[in-house]
Amino acid sequence: MKRMFVALFLLLFCSICASASEPAITTKKISDNFYVFYGGGGLGANAGMSIGEDGVLLVDVMKDTTAPMLYAEIRKITDKPVKYVINTHGDFDHAGGNNFFKEKGAVIIGQSNAHYSSAKSDIKIGNAFTLEFNGETIAAKHVEAHSFNDMIIYFPIDNIIFTGDTFTNQSPPYSFIDGARGQLMAIEAALGFSDEETTIVPGHGGIDNASGLRAYREKFTAWIGRIKTLHDKGMTAAEMVRDAKLNEIKQRFLVINKGEEVADARFERLVARTLSSDFVDAYALPEEVRDAYPGIYRKAEGGVVEVFSENDRLFLRQEGAFMWELAPQSLTEFKIRVLLGDSIVFNVNRDTGAVIGFEGTLHGGPISAKRIAAP
């Protein structure tokens, strides 16, 4: 009996410990008609919910594996149907639950460039969008910062903004697609919707306000400025992380997170990402050769990719997979901006001078493709 009692006690104790350690969605009520759901703990990004006469509209839906948990939390609050999902961008931790909610009857809205990610959507919007729902005009503005399909989303009645990953207030900046230029444009877009009473929901971390966003802009500008100074001195990311002033700037980002430290390896990676997004020395392509690269390319492993030009910048994209900027290092070698260490080399026909394909690395793996059509 004693052994049985001990065994039952241990079983109950372990069950309680396991339950306590499992991540759970946290719900914050903004008003009777608006709620924010915090992901974290591997569940996914922050999400939002508008409730009204028209039904439910969600901003982001966490991961595919988390979507049922999110739906259960929604059902604790309302039994109204989920009519729309608007994605701040196409990353899996924000848009992974799209299919789940589509099966529940929701219409999925995403920015048009999201079809170069894994996110699926029914309505693809351009640079701006409004939707009349639940008695208000919901507005969305497209920016290119964290991704090529970012949207800043504003709900005027509750005066709340969702920034997606263009703003996260829990760590130093994790530079992405359009570097400092895109980051600052996204901040300005969010501030353009804001007043001093606006609630700002970042992609990850706790809710903030316009004052916090302006403070983030100041810290971000200091981060970029210091890295530029060190880059101009020829320092590598590994050397920069030992710089006292850059470490002081890093700590400023952690105040809202109560001083939680950033591991050295992650700090170095954050710096390296900034270098790769903003400080890649690019070769100036002669104007007469800029049209040599765009076209459709067939990958050796199957499927096609496209190289295209926009505003004198070259990009590589594949529907449903990726879209990245190419930074020329010579007439044939191009680094893939932001992806650390990845690059491609274009192959040229020696007799005609025409580009016939490329090979290199993408996401750390090999990629090889032959050109099959001009733009």
pLDDT digits (tens, 9 = 90+) for 130-146: 999 999 999 999 999 99
Side chain identity at 208, as an amino acid letter? D
Distance CA 116, CA 299 (A): 16
Asked if 359 contacts 368 with a C-beta cutoff of 8 angstroms, the reply is yes
Asked if 312 contacts 286 with a C-beta cutoff of 8 angstroms, the reply is no
Span 74-108, pLDDT tens digits: 999 999 999 999 999 999 999 999 999 999 999 99
pLDDT at 41: 84
Q: Which of 76-90, 278-292, 348-362 has the lowest mean pLDDT?
A: 278-292
Strand 128-133 versus strand 333-336 pairing type: unpaired
Distance CA 146, CA 152 (A): 12
Tokens of 210: 């316009």
Distance CA 333, CA 282 (A): 10
pLDDT for 289 beyond 80: yes
Distance CA 102, CA 121 (A): 9
Span 213-223, pLDDT tens digits: 999 999 999 99
DSSP 80: S
Q: Around 237, how many Cα atoms within 13 Å sit in the side-chain half-sphere?
A: 17
pLDDT at 19: 46
Distance CA 157, CA 31 (A): 10
Distance CA 63, CA 41 (A): 12
Question: Please, what is the average pLDDT of the chain?
Answer: 91
Label residue 55 exposed, middle or buried (CB < 10 Å: 0-12, 13-18, 19+). middle
Three-state secondary structure call for residue 287: helix
User: 288 pLDDT band (50/70/90 cuts)?
Assistant: confident
Span 5-46, pLDDT tens digits: 445 445 554 444 444 457 899 999 999 999 999 988 899 999
Find all residues with CB under 8 Å of 144, minimum gap 6, and list them.
150, 177, 178, 182, 185
pLDDT at 2: 53
Overall average pLDDT of the 253-267 stretch: 73
Distance CA 259, CA 238 (A): 22
Q: How much of the chain exceeds pLDDT 90, in percent? A: 82
pLDDT at 256: 59
pLDDT at 340: 86
Three-state secondary structure call for residue 47: strand
Overall residue count recorded for the chain in this entry: 375
pLDDT at 170: 80
b/e string for 286-295 if b means 16 or more Cβ within 10 A?
A: eeeeeebbbb
Overall average pLDDT of the 248-268 stretch: 79
Distance CA 151, CA 168 (A): 14
pLDDT at 260: 57
pTM for this prediction: 0.90
Overall average pLDDT of the 310-337 stretch: 95
Comparing CA positions, the residue from 346, 324, 323 lying closest to residue 334 is: 346
Asked if 293 contacts 355 with a C-beta cutoff of 8 angstroms, the reply is yes
pLDDT at 13: 47
Overall average pLDDT of the 330-356 stretch: 94
Question: Phi, psi at residue 143, to the nearest 5°?
Answer: -135, 160
pLDDT at 16: 47
